[in-house]
Amino acid sequence: MTPAARAQAAIDVLDACLGGAAAEQALLAWSRRSRFAGSKDRAAVRDLVFDAIRRRRSCGAWPDGSARLWLARLLHQDGADLAEIFTGMRFAPDPLSDDEQDALAAPVGNDANLQDWMLDRLTADFGDRTTAIVKSLDHRASVFLRVNRRNAKVTDVIDALRAEGISAEPVADLAYALRVTDGQRKLAQSKPFADGWFEFQDAASQRAAEAVPITGTILDYCAGGGGKALALADRGAEVFAHDANRKRMHQISDRARRAGVRITRIDPAHLKNTARFDTVFVDAPCSGSGAWRRSPAEKWTLTPADLDTYVSLQREIIETALTHCRPGGTFVYATCSIFRCENQGQIDWLLQGHPEFDLIAQCQQIPGEQGDGFYHALIHKSA
């Protein structure tokens, strides 16, 4: 496919998104119709679509708009020559009309790619740092890997990936983290991955896992796919994985086997009320706002009511999970959110209602070059 043909494909997908379709569904529908498109073409169209969704407002497509103008503004912002793309030739978009040219020349009005209520919340939470946070969400997130220290050395992983056309570099503050700089789409089919040499895990999430004390037993209460449970087990912890939805944990056993670690799964029906652990780790369901670079459509669908629902759910989870922390133990609360109400606000609420707990440390990471937005807090329970 030519760049112009890819642009037309992206316009078709974005038009479906304006009609209410989810981006993934619209991309899948286009892919089924376009069997001639190769893997590189599909990846290129996907990148165009997700870049457009990240920058929907600055491209003049929020809350509605034209898919052609949406993509034209994106390409223009990125320095493309629109006359070479909107040609009307085979598979290319039709030339821009005079009205479209006038619309492109007019200012959009707001280049902050978030809903107004989100900007207000973040400004209240971060003040002058809000602009940098918002701008970071306009761009694709880096891919980070966590080297399984039991299976390989960091330098060996770098060399093995390089042999397969994949470039990766160490992360300064994380001894076992790599940032992938080229060849990201080859990772899942690489031999080092098949051999269990690394896991996909964002750097911010790795920092939270590294902060957890490795003493006694650890309950990963909202384990999901097991990313943090694997990181904790790789450090030598005795890890128990639990999730309210047992189906979310279906890959944990296979992932643990490939990584060469042991994780004991506990289905919801089998976690006894009396079970106590030295550390309880809760990576709570949240808005996902710290990871909106990876799932940008979510920042256009989240409502204030949705955020309130997350806050209520998190408090329910916290109340139950706290009961599984034994005296003298550690409770760890984490989210991939950048909203204070889901993070520091929840810890303030926890400490007010549970005087037997004391805050040890907390960290709010914002999305940027060093990973996603992520929050974690360590809390000690008195003996």
- The two tokens of residue 60 are 């003049």
Is 212 in the same domain as 264? yes
> Looking at the predicted structure, is the pLDDT value of residue 307 above 80?
yes
Is 213 in the same domain as 170? no
Percent of the chain with pLDDT over 90: 91
Question: CB neighbours (10 Å) of residue 269?
Answer: 7
What integer pLDDT is reported at residue 261 of this predicted model?
95
DSSP helix/strand/coil, 315: helix
What integer pLDDT is reported at residue 60 of this predicted model?
93
111 pLDDT tier (thresholds 50, 70, 90):
confident
In a domain, 116, yes or no: no
Ordered strands of the 167-171 beta sheet? 167-171, 174-182, 143-147, 198-200
Q: Could you tell me the pTM of the whole model?
A: 0.94
> Which range of residues forms the domain containing residue 28?
3-111
CATH code: domain of residue 180:
3.30.70.1170
Q: Give me the number of domains the chain comprises.
A: 3
38/67: higher pLDDT: 67
34 pLDDT tier (thresholds 50, 70, 90):
confident
In a domain, 178, yes or no: yes
> Looking at the predicted structure, is the pLDDT value of residue 253 above 80?
yes
- The two tokens of residue 183 are 């060849």
Is 173 in the same domain as 305? no
Which uninterrupted H or E stretch holds 72? helix 67-77
In a domain, 128, yes or no: no
Decide: 306 and 287 in contact? Cβ < 8 Å: yes
Whole-angstrom Cα distance, residue 90 to residue 235? Answer: 56
Decide: 209 and 150 in contact? Cβ < 8 Å: no
